Amino acid sequence: MSEDRIYGTHPVREALLGKRKPEKILLRQGMDSNTAAQMMDLAKKFDVPVQFVPQEKLNHLTANKNHQGVVAMLPQVDYVTLDEAVAAAGTKPGFPTIILLDGVSDVRNFGAIARTCECAGAGALILPAKGGAAVNQDAIKASAGALLRIPSCKVPNLRTAVFHLRESGYVVIGTSAGQRQSIYETDFCRPLALVMGAEGKGISRGIMELCDELASIPQFGEIGSLNVSAATAVVLFEAVRQRLKK
């Protein structure tokens, strides 16, 4: 059995009830409806996403062992709670910074963002339980080990996290193309919750409406957008530049 997955209905059920919650549960397409319903109900209780996949994928993941149509993918790091993420960010010198990733699902982008965050002194990463990138070996490798140093938090709902951060004294700034205010006109010398959206889609409308401010990265080319990891680096190191002048 691989270190990053377990399989079988009983082991997966025990994992859901234990301390090390799965990151995602894979169920065989067409499996017994009662078993699937029970597993989905339990996964929903603990905010663990469920995906139905072909049997061939489960066979591959388990080397054709008796998986009973159920495989759980385990996280490679221990996630922290939202309160723990805020507390960890508060221990950093200067202005605390937390990064929220809205819809960023590519693990290599996520790893690169984590590396930038660690280098720029950000205190924590927050991403949604559903649709967010997995903290797996590919992400850890892309982060050059930064994901083992910077706290990561998965939340059932990013909106709830935004409200919590605002109540904790953070200003929430979203980055979005086409905004009149640029990042170079934005004050980053305060407790900062920076929202970065997925390439193409950007920040979702619901999250954008909750941001205290929106800012864009000035661009002069024809492509129209930066890779999300590159954009995160540009914004974070503008914050570093401003803070070094204080």
- Alpha carbon distance 196, 199 (integer Å): 9
Answer yes or no: are the C-beta atoms of 100 and 38 closer than 8 Å: no
Predicted confidence at residue 3, as pLDDT, reads: 53
- CATH class of domain segment(s) 5-73: alpha beta
Tens digit of pLDDT at every position of the chain (246 positions)? 345 888 999 889 888 887 677 888 999 998 888 889 999 999 988 888 899 999 999 999 888 888 999 999 887 787 899 999 999 999 998 899 999 999 998 989 999 999 999 999 999 999 998 888 877 778 888 899 898 899 999 998 999 999 999 999 999 999 988 889 999 999 999 999 999 998 778 899 999 999 999 999 998 887 767 899 999 999 999 999 999 987
Name the DSSP class of 164. H
Q: How far is the CA of 102 from the CAs of 50, 86, 94, 186, 190, in angstroms? A: 19, 18, 25, 21, 22
> pLDDT for 94-121, tens place per residue?
899 999 999 998 989 999 999 999 999 9
Predicted confidence at residue 2, as pLDDT, reads: 46
Domain 82-244: give its CATH code. 3.40.1280.10
Answer yes or no: are the C-beta atoms of 76 and 137 closer than 8 Å: yes
Predicted confidence at residue 132, as pLDDT, reads: 83
User: Which residue ranges make up each domain of the chain?
Assistant: 5-73, 82-244
- Alpha carbon distance 169, 190 (integer Å): 9
Q: What count of Cα atoms within 13 Å lies in the side-chain half-sphere of residue 87? A: 5
Answer yes or no: are the C-beta atoms of 115 and 142 closer than 8 Å: yes
- 5-73 and 82-244 share one fold: no
Answer yes or no: are the C-beta atoms of 77 and 111 closer than 8 Å: no
Tokens 């959206």 correspond to 197
Among the residues of 124-188, which ranges form H helices? 137-142, 158-167
- Alpha carbon distance 231, 235 (integer Å): 6
Predicted confidence at residue 97, as pLDDT, reads: 97
Which amino acid belongs to residue 101? L
Other C-beta atoms lying within 10 Å of the C-beta of residue 109: 22
- Alpha carbon distance 17, 156 (integer Å): 17
Give pTM, 2 decimals.
0.78
